[in-house]
């Protein structure tokens, strides 16, 4: 039995706009971020047929799922397992502040992403294990259905790595996706495998409305 998982990265957040590391801090969407989400819901209204809508319980993800919930008449099921990386001492700081206070750890993030760990927080490998377990749980819970799940940049990067057969120490082989992008995966319960069908889809956005992870974090 096959289950479709459509992962949506949240629209531009206040933290994105201010070049901050959000982590579990509950930054909301900017006006641009809300527009990105609304355009996505409008564009995909007749192109997708989700049975379930899940979301990280953080505002920027939940409010990205909101217009989809309204279009499809489905409630949003918040799940903490879909949250972004817990950033520890980096929570809410600007990238410039992190560079000054936690220089070595930020350099590891930029140069050796698969072995990175936010100071006092979660590592990328720990997030990989968490997110893969959460998505496989969702796929099995809603077997045979189509699930729309609003989440964050690092969880999607980790899941795409897993779907491509990469280990937790190989996440760096996958790039970050853009704000409000759709990323489509398929879980096959017969083989217990997940594969990526198409990722980083921003067909619903004019080029002027496309935003991504700050260059300072890449």
Helix axis angle for 59-72 and 31-44, nearest 10°, is 30
Q: Given 24, 38, 62, 84, which residue is catalytic?
A: 84
CA of 41: how far to CAs of 47, 70, 118, 154, 200, in Å?
Answer: 10, 9, 33, 22, 16
Q: Given 10, 24, 62, 152, which residue is catalytic?
A: 10
Q: Is 62 a catalytic residue?
A: no
Confirm if 10 and 61 have CB atoms less than 8 A apart: yes
Q: Is 38 a catalytic residue?
A: no
Which residue in 140, 183, 150, 130 sits closest to 78, CA to CA? 150
Which of left, alpha, beta for 20 (phi over 0: left; psi -120 to 50: alpha)?
beta
Question: Which residues does the annotation mark as catalytic?
Answer: 10, 84
């Amino acid at each position: 039995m096959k289950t479709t998982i459509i992962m949506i990265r949240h629209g531009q957040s206040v933290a994105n706009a201010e070049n901050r590391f959000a982590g579990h801090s509950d930054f909301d969407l900017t006006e641009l971020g809300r527009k990105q989400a609304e355009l996505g819901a409008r564009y995909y209204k007749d192109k997708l047929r989700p049975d379930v809508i899940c979301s990280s319980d953080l505002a920027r993800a939940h409010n990205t799922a909101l217009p989809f919930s309204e279009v499809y008449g489905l409630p949003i099921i918040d799940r903490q397992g879909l949250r972004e990386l817990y950033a520890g001492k980096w929570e809410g700081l600007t990238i410039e502040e992190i560079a000054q206070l936690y220089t070595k750890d930020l350099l590891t993030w930029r140069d050796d992403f698969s072995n990175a760990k936010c100071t006092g927080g979660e590592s990328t490998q720990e997030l990989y294990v968490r997110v893969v377990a959460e998505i496989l749980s969702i796929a099995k819970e809603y077997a045979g259905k189509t699930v729309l799940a609003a989440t964050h940049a690092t969880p999607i990067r980790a899941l795409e790595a897993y779907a491509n057969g990469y280990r937790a120490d190989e996440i760096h082989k996958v790039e970050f996706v853009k704000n409000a992008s759709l990323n489509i995966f398929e879980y096959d319960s017969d083989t217990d495998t997940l594969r990526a069908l198409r990722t980083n889809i921003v067909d619903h956005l004019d080029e002027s409305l496309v935003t991504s992870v700050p260059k300072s974090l890449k």
